[in-house]
Structure 1
């Protein structure tokens, strides 16, 4: 019999693509999706709207920072327990206060994991981030040095450590690189929007640092597949009737070894603009004045984007070229995503970041009227 699963934070970027994957591939008879955001207001594409309308998908609105709400979400009508629980619920917006990340990421993860352990859920999958590793040119493997460099990553790592201590929790942790694909708002998409802005301004797009700054990537379709793959494999190793095995950790990163230079090449091709880099000296100066530099950068991009949207009749969009100062620093994201292949037989179906894949992101946003038409070459 197909497993019955619970997906927390299932309306978000990774969540909606994961729900689409399990429904399209008939992997479940029933999935309960819990999220504080309603599907109707979450900028779903037509494809994802259909997925959430599928009779196998049950949506419940819930604030998972509330203990009573967590208990309620885990309680099935038939009195049985969920087989797999996937935690994708977290604060993903940059630039929030430490208190916000503590409540919406750390405390939330611990609360839902404890509930899963109490109910002896077969497998609990926690989605973390590869930003927990020390910024280094050399790819970080799972046992690499941990030194989180964003506030999101700090709260995620704290949650990981706490989850490992929970008795009876059959835990898998995934640490993806920058996730891109349809629905991405905070990953590669702000740079794509900047490409559209510089085409409009008829100017060269010059970024801080150099072309070699690593920003490794993974396609959301592969993240969705990996979520299911690790849960199914973990259950084979030790389900509810067998002893709980130690937490397993897997990175997710494609084969591109993506850096700023490679992303810029694709942006050049998609928008027909020139791109370049400020170099280390100017960038070091910017780093010392990051607050004002960030403000200037965002001021330059926000107005033209707003005008582009207005002229094209795009009145409602989650998309913005806004970049938080955490992302303007010279932190390299270099990740070795091969362990999941070697140990679990997983394969990446989108092994390369290509111009075509990035064009698809833009085209799907255009089709959903969230991106102005006619901005690409």
Structure 2
């Protein structure tokens, strides 16, 4: 019976979305085999014990390879045929040089696409970003004007264009800001900032205004959408992913105020305008204010190694809205399981890191909720 289930190749399977996708496939009993290809190894990928149990599941095979290298990328596809290939291996850090993005987004996608052409899976899911749309308060549909507003998004757009030229069963996903367990760069830096302001005993105030759009989607819905499109999606289509929260800076601040028991607000239009005139200096000042206390908090909690940082890259601190219409995929029968962001979902992310020993527990923070063990039998 197990062999009748499909085989999945997850490129970048140890990353934020990748590890959640492995968990989702196993929880749904959806795969006979899951091959995880990643340049990292589990022991250095900051996996929690919970995720480690999934990565060590008998159905999971692990291959260490740098997919931006053509020869190593070929290794990811060798010695088996996979029904579905999912590319989650792109660079996710902001503020990198063009050469890094070209190598780890564009070149990587081209290498993967060529192997997909040769091995002919049923579907190839390529995960891009909704930052490729022209920034507007009006939610972007899949047909909206494309104008990448981060360097990372620029190379994602180039990768999409190149993949579309190939003879492959391509489905492109463009998610809004992805948050959830194991997130380090989506919303988590703001969560860390809130902990810093709790530590400092100060009001947390951000630039611009409460209505700056920051549309979101939970990682479990991203994983559900990937599986859904593998089984029911049509090659050649593009799908946005965004929940129903209509998330903006004000709502995020409200959640953080509740969770960390701090006052939140915004610096006001006059100071925001002054910041706009010298963003580089403003960003340096903001990050200096956050990073030093965070380092002190980690030291006091005997945390010596954590992937978490309150550092906010300049690209993400401009007055640039991210507004995304994620309804098209619902026309295929997909249902968002977390249509609204809640303080409980935010707390789940922070709890996970506190329990993992990577996030110092702030004063008066509610007791972290233990993560139940996987329901499968490990061997």
Instruction: Please indicate the TM-score interval, normalised by the length of the shorter structure.
Output: over 0.9
Tell me the residue number matched to 2:90: 90
**Alpha-carbon deviations, 1:58-94, whole Å to 9, x = none?**
0110011111111121112xxx421110000111000
1:188 and 1:73 map into 2 onto residues whose CA distance is: 31
2:263 and 2:291 map into 1 onto residues whose CA distance is: 20
1:6 and 1:312 map into 2 onto residues whose CA distance is: 39
Q: List aligned pairs for 1:209-358, cutoff 5 A.
A: 209-234=208-233, 245=235, 247-342=236-331, 344-358=332-346
Question: Which structure 2 residue ranges, 5 or more long, are not aligned?
Answer: 367-379
Could you list the runs of 4 or more consecutive aligned residues of structure 1 that deviate by over 3 angstroms after TM superposition? none
1:180 Cα offset (Å): 0.3
Q: List aligned pairs for 1:139-178, cutoff 5 A.
A: 139-167=139-167, 169-178=168-177
Question: Which structure 1 residue ranges, 5 or more long, are not aligned?
Answer: 238-244
2:362 and 2:201 map into 1 onto residues whose CA distance is: 15
Tell me the residue number matched to 1:54: 57
1:198 and 1:68 map into 2 onto residues whose CA distance is: 47
1:287 Cα offset (Å): 1.7
Deviates more, 1:110-119 or 1:367-376: 367-376
**Alpha-carbon deviations, 1:42-62, whole Å to 9, x = none?**
111111000011111001100
TM-score (norm 2): 0.94
1:363 and 1:62 map into 2 onto residues whose CA distance is: 31
2:196 and 2:321 map into 1 onto residues whose CA distance is: 25
Residue 9, structure 1, aligned to residue 12, structure 2: yes
8 Å contact 2:123–2:230 — kept in the other structure?
yes
1:53 and 1:72 map into 2 onto residues whose CA distance is: 20
1:284 Cα offset (Å): 2.3
Tell me the residue number matched to 2:358: 370
Tell me the residue number matched to 1:192: 191
Tell me the residue number matched to 1:240: none
**Alpha-carbon deviations, 1:206-231, whole Å to 9, x = none?**
10000000000000000011111101
Tell me the residue number matched to 1:360: 348
**Alpha-carbon deviations, 1:74-120, whole Å to 9, x = none?**
112xxx42111000011100000011100100110011011101221
Tell me the residue number matched to 1:101: 101
Superposition RMSD on alpha carbons, in Å?
1.0
1:217 and 1:32 map into 2 onto residues whose CA distance is: 28
